[in-house]
Amino acid sequence: MALINETNGSSLSGLVGRVVVVKTKWGSYMRSAPQYSKSSWTDSQKVHRQRFKRVSEFCRQFRETVIPQIWKDTNVRASGYALFLKANMQAFSSQGELTDPALVKLSTGVLEFPQGLQLNAAQLMEGRLTVSWPDAGSGIRWRDELMAIATGEGHYSDILNTGILRGQKGGSFELPELKTDATHLYLFFGSKDRRSYSDSECYSLINAS
List the pLDDT tens digit at each of the 209 positions of the chain: 444 555 554 554 545 556 767 666 556 666 666 665 556 567 677 777 889 999 999 999 999 999 999 998 776 678 899 999 999 999 999 889 999 999 999 999 999 999 999 999 999 999 999 999 999 989 999 999 999 999 999 999 999 999 999 999 999 999 999 999 999 999 999 999 999 999 999 999 987 76
- d(CA 20, CA 5) in angstroms, rounded, equals 16
pLDDT at 76: 67
pLDDT at 175: 96
pLDDT at 48: 77
Q: Is 85 exposed, middle or buried (0-12, 13-18, 19+ CB in 10 A)?
A: buried
Single out the residue of 190, 131, 179, 136 nearest to residue 157, CA to CA.
Answer: 179
pLDDT at 1: 47
Cβ proximity of 189 and 161 under 8 Å:
no
- d(CA 188, CA 197) in angstroms, rounded, equals 7
